[in-house]
A = this chain, B = another copy of it.
């Protein structure tokens, strides 16, 4: 289909879908989730072949994906994302003029483009969180398939399209494109109202720049990169060295380190037993990475880090048909001297351990990290360094963790998956959890309208005060 045909269809679908009652949209999206669940035996083998991820992981991810679709569809019906506010008329309003009857709700933005990610071939891809939240919020979606799993993308899209059609959704509500050139044409089309992306900093920034330099700039929700630093206090390292070492190794090697929330940097006290435990840790056997591009990208950053003055290898597994897990070691002084080089994301099974001399230095490192999806504090309840550390880190990350590990992002009501740039290009938004819906609507106030002309949620009998 030409780009213009895609857009014409999406614009037409946008009108019908926006006018569809939220509970009817939910019914349609639940049908899509059911269809995806039913197609698991067809989809998972394709996903295995294209992504090299293990079956159990992919089965779990598909379950997460359909859970997410149902959760977002239900949250959209509930309508929190509309941010309904009602002011009744008030002749005594002390502003110098009477207050009119003003009622605020939100409307869908219109057609959007979603750029799929490679590392979650279900949950952040064709029918993933961005697609689900846009559709649930009332927006048609054009997905740019990730080149890492083209067949799975097609197969998923067929299931989605068949389920949408069977459930009575308008034509053009969902479409899939493969060509990067066509995706760019879509992104700059005047009828496209937002973009969403998960991937690398250079690719995401290039698309963000395109979206912002349009005649009419549009919101671009890009999740780019994050090293997700972990701050281990002296007390915690002394009290729980083995538990911390095990937890860290488990988290940074999970999924062969191919998670956006992988703890890529861990700060530990110099001389701590924790360092010995990490040096002697049994790293998991090499697991194949998603694709050759990920393999070469991981190797390139690993080489850059390894070549940096003051970096040494703390522990490394034995490479086989896949890259080995690697722990690098440096000092906080080195990091403070060259943060850009050392606090760089190495997508894959590598992490950097940074030793600090005292907790004042620990806080200084926190102060110079860039925007992060997550920041983790591993500490004891009465640790003196913690309050200042938390204050600094709340200014740096979208999610703070206490004695837990950042991998495994729960899809919930209170989740926040997004932080200051470069973690995300729109730091006030989240791409996981029900607040992801907020990205695809825009508030509109209705002034002085009679009840019968108001959107349902603004009427006195339904949702109004």
Taking beta carbons and an 8 Å cutoff, which residues of A are in contact with B? Answer: 15, 18-19, 60, 63-64, 67-68, 83, 85-87, 93-97, 99-100, 102-104, 107, 110, 208-209, 212-213, 216-217, 219, 370-371, 381, 386-387, 390-391, 394-395, 397-404, 408, 410-416, 418, 420-422, 425, 427-428, 430, 435, 438, 441-450, 452-453
Q: How far is the CA of A435 from the CA of B416 in the complex (A)?
A: 20
Copies of this protein chain in the complex: 2
Instruction: Give chain B residues whose Cβ lies under 8 Å from the Cβ of A18.
Output: 391, 395
A107 touches B394 (CB 8 A): yes
Instruction: Give chain B residues whose Cβ lies under 8 Å from the Cβ of A102.
Output: 410, 412, 414-415
B67 touches A414 (CB 8 A): no
> How many whole Å from A37's CB to the nearest CB in chain B?
12
Who on chain B is nearest to A99 by CB?
A: B410
A67 touches B96 (CB 8 A): yes
Instruction: Give chain B residues whose Cβ lies under 8 Å from the Cβ of A96.
Output: 60, 63-64, 67
Q: How far is the CA of A330 from the CA of B350 in the complex (A)?
A: 67
Q: A87-B413, A100-B410, A410-B95 known; A402 and B444 CB under 8 Å?
A: no
Instruction: Give chain B residues whose Cβ lies under 8 Å from the Cβ of A402.
Output: 446-450, 453
Q: How far is the CA of A94 from the CA of B411 in the complex (A)?
A: 10
Instruction: Give chain B residues whose Cβ lies under 8 Å from the Cβ of A219.
Output: 427-428
B410 touches A110 (CB 8 A): no
Extra pairs beyond A67-B95, A399-B447, A428-B443 (14, CB < 8 Å)? A18-B391, A83-B435, A87-B410, A87-B412, A87-B413, A102-B410, A103-B414, A208-B212, A209-B213, A216-B370, A394-B444, A398-B445, A402-B449, A418-B443
Who on chain B is nearest to A441 by CB?
A: B428
